[in-house]
Amino acid sequence: MMLRFIHIRVAGAVLPAFLAFAGVVHAHVVPNMTVEAEFGSMGDYALRINVDPRTFLAADPTALPPVPASWYRDQTPEQVAATHDKAQRYLVSSLGVLFNGKKTALPACKIQAMDGTDNTPLKAETQELHLLATVSGQMPEAATTFQIDFAKDANTSLILLQSQAGKTELRPQVVFPGETSRPFQLIQTTPAVAPPADSPPSKTSEIYVIIALSVACVAMIIGWVLLRRYRHHHRSHRRPGDGRM
């Protein structure tokens, strides 16, 4: 099982924003992205990415307060699709997947809304909105390491959690824009080979069996006939009084 997303907020730089009614400086905490990478025993892998919408709604995420769930709920289906598309494009431009040091583009994600406080599905009382992006695929053959390449313009930090065969890496990695995570060693697995299925007996073998049984039956019949003839012949030639006391 994968660990639940760990929501870690890091204090960020202050953005001067003069409020019209107060004239005071106001700043918001810096959002971060959390990625859980899980590797299966059959060469499969899955990524779960916790995305704060502020990362793709503004060049400086600290300029926005946490996005309320009502912002998402009030959207039309077309607007929701546009939001998901914007999140997808942000993730593709920010994250690269590396196996054995070879970078590949992030596959298409499935995106759904969730509660940003406890990382559960969106509900009526949800206040802060986050998005959950999930990716699944097959590792390249002979893959021995996995890494995440984080783009320079990602505008946030990344927390990376990795596990394989139910064992989770004890120390999460913190990756900043422009960095690549340290290699995660993948366990080499050999797919189980199914034992060869018992081949059905050939027709030739069946014929041999039938012939053998037929020969055995004929031999038994001949033996029984010869035995009867022998007994009959022996009785017909027995002397009178033989066998009497």
Give the chain's domain count: 2
For residue 163, the enclosing domain spans: 32-185
Interatomic CA distance for residues 190 and 177, integer angstroms: 36
Contacts of residue 106, Cβ cutoff 8 Å, sequence gap at least 6: 91, 92, 95, 96, 97, 135
CB atoms within 10 A of CB 228: 10
Answer yes or no: do 208 and 180 share one domain. no
| pLDDT digits (tens), the chain, 245 positions | 444 434 333 333 333 332 233 333 345 677 889 999 999 988 999 999 999 999 999 999 999 999 999 999 999 999 999 999 999 999 999 999 999 999 998 999 999 999 999 999 999 999 999 999 999 999 998 999 999 999 999 999 999 999 998 888 888 999 999 999 999 999 876 554 555 555 555 555 555 445 555 555 455 555 544 545 544 555 555 555 554 44
Answer yes or no: do 125 and 218 share one domain. no
Answer yes or no: do 211 and 138 share one domain. no
Answer yes or no: do 217 and 136 share one domain. no
Contacts of residue 49, Cβ cutoff 8 Å, sequence gap at least 6: 33, 34, 35, 36, 91, 95, 109, 132, 133, 134, 135
Contact 150, 94 (CB under 8 A): yes
Q: Is residue 1 one of the residues assigned to a domain?
A: no
Answer yes or no: do 179 and 215 share one domain. no
| Beta pairing class for 129-138 and 44-51 | antiparallel
Answer yes or no: do 43 and 150 share one domain. yes
